[in-house]
Amino acid sequence: MSNYLISIVGATAIGKTALSIELAKHFNTEIISCDSRQFYKEMSIGTAVPYPEELAAVKHHFIQNRSIFEDYNVGQFEKDALEKLNQLFKQHNIVIMVGGSGLYANAVIDGLDYFPEIPAAVRENLNKQLKEKGIENLQNQLKNLDIESYNSIEIDNPHRLIRALEICIGSGETYSSFKNKPKAPRNFKTIKIGLQAERELMYERINKRVDIMINNGLLNEAKELVEHKNLNALQTVGYRELFKFFNNEITLEFAIEEIKKNTRRFAKRQVTWNKRDKDICWFNFNPTIKDVTRLIESKITCE
């Protein structure tokens, strides 16, 4: 039997964690997380790390295994994840991968794209612009230079926004033009399972999740991290808005509404990213485990 990676994708708060655990139990296997926000042990509530009982139910990898003080990127994750998969495939023919970071999932499944070396001065200038003119200025630049990337990357993430811009500016070519070229082959086959829901339901679940995060102590978690707010790991929804509250720039009520709004925008971009992938087998929100396993097993049998 070949080795299979079952990749669970979908917008934030759609139910990927619950499905991944049920699948891992069914196939008696383990889970790899490719959620780039859940790598960091200092960030738990705001990144929706699975609850302790969920982590105990099935063995998880790459959850809170790094510190916000470490430099960690998608290239390093690709290498680490492939090493872990090689180990897991010695014990299991099927491994589950789950997470909302499409770039990180694609790095494991297809490999990373090649990008040219760009002079450090380009990034330094963009970081200066970010500080002096704000993120919207950079977003508008990317919109003008590379509309495809503008519509697909996390443009609220300064790190990824600057990465796309520095390639456009430094190479004279679009960031998107370097993507989707032939990659190194993998020693496993991938079956992609997607979860989807009507937008109103998706947004309702997001709003409810944010309220739960606040009730579970997100405010205190963010307060403990505010002195490190300039670290790349903390340039993310849920923390960035609360840092503004701590700095007396906005009210707490407004900060919470901004978290909800920005999370909804993030979910919309996740949907856009995933809809481009014709290999994803879609299920409506909250499918039965029987329906999903039947599809997976039929694909394995056919191959």
Which positions make up the binding site? Answer: 10-17
Tokens 């409506």 belong to which residue?
A: 284
Say if residue 181 is exposed, middle or buried (CB neighbours under 10 Å; 0-12, 13-18, 19+). Answer: exposed
Q: What residues are paired with 301 via a beta bridge? A: none
Contact 197, 14 (CB under 8 A): yes
Selection from 157, 156, 139 nearest residue 147 by Cα:
139
Contact 13, 267 (CB under 8 A): yes
- Rounded Cα distance between 194 and 285, Å, is 9
Tokens 């897991």 belong to which residue?
A: 88
Contact 33, 99 (CB under 8 A): yes
DSSP H helices, 32-119, are 52-57, 74-88, 102-109
- Rounded Cα distance between 46 and 243, Å, is 13
Handedness of CA 10, 15, 16, 17 (dihedral sign): positive
**Residue positions in the annotated binding site for ATP?**
10-17
Structure-block tokens of residue 151: 């519509």
Tokens 């889970």 belong to which residue?
A: 31
- Rounded Cα distance between 124 and 13, Å, is 35
- Rounded Cα distance between 142 and 129, Å, is 13
**Residue positions in the annotated binding site for substrate?**
12-17
